[in-house]
């Protein structure tokens, strides 16, 4: 007897899911970009102008990762792998999905726990894990001899091949879940356009989404932690 193929679930996650673990968001009314100048701390030009300030900013964010833990929403998404073929596509640069147990995670905007070259961000010889409790300092070198930098997509930089991987996954997904993102950050937000019309689509966000809810999505108007069990019930009905 042929085993039934697992349904394919793609989850697009954003800052809202990590916020409930204690990681500050960027675009909320109390977000980081209300306190800091994004162009000075998260852009190529900002790094050229004051590399130490940029490294200090990211070193602080890296240390913060040591103090936070996956929440209920992260853990439920990881548990889904027991019954479904699940891939997480995340806009987040933390590793909370992995720590919760998710085995297939695609990071669209990079990873705080990794470093790379300032000359060629995508050089595979230069991309490596870097201990979160070890600061990246001026003078620290990548494998190509250039200054080490965080493996993060800064403003003005293009996304890597992960975005193409995400599109292919979405084109084949049976269920698409958007959680913790209000779909205002592009090009990641445009991924909703690649979901199959017949796929079941859910969006978990506490906001109203009035006039912004993509066609065909069932809106669960809750935070990530509050809404994840409702999502679980809905998926089990399918």
Residues with a known catalytic role: 109
CA gap 176, 196 in Å, rounded: 9
Task: Quote the DSSP letter at residue 189.
Answer: G
Are 148 and 120 a contacting pair, CB within 8 Å?
A: no
Phi, psi torsion values for 7, nearest 5 degrees: -65, 145
Quote the tokens at residue 108: 């669209």
**DSSP assignment of 66-78, as one string?**
TT----HHHHHHH
Length of the chain in terms of residues written = 238
CA gap 65, 192 in Å, rounded: 29
């Amino acid at each position: 007897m042929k085993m039934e193929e697992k349904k394919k679930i793609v989850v697009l996650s954003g800052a809202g899911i990590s916020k409930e673990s204690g990681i500050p968001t960027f675009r909320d009314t109390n977000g980081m970009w209300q306190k800091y100048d994004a162009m000075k701390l998260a852009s190529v030009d900002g790094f050229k102008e004051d590399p130490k300030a940029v490294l200090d900013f990211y070193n602080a964010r890296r240390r913060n990762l040591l103090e936070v833990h996956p929440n209920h929403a992260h853990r439920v998404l990881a548990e889904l792998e027991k019954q479904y073929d699940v891939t997480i596509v995340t806009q987040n640069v933390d590793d909370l999905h992995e720590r919760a147990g998710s085995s297939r995670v695609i990071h669209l905007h990079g990873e705080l726990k990794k470093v790379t070259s300032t000359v060629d961000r995508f050089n595979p010889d230069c991309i490596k894990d870097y201990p979160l409790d070890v600061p990246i300092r001026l003078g620290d070198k990548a494998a190509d001899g250039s200054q080490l930098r965080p493996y993060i997509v800064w403003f003005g930089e293009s996304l890597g091949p992960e975005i193409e991987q995400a599109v292919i996954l979405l084109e084949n997904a049976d269920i698409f879940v958007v959680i913790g993102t209000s779909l205002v950050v592009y090009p990641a937000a445009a991924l909703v356009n690649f979901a199959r019309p017949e796929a079941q689509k859910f969006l978990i966000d506490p906001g109203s989404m009035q006039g912004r809810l993509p066609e065909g999505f069932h809106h669960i108007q809750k935070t990530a932690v509050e809404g994840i069990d409702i999502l679980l019930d809905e998926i089990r009905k399918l």
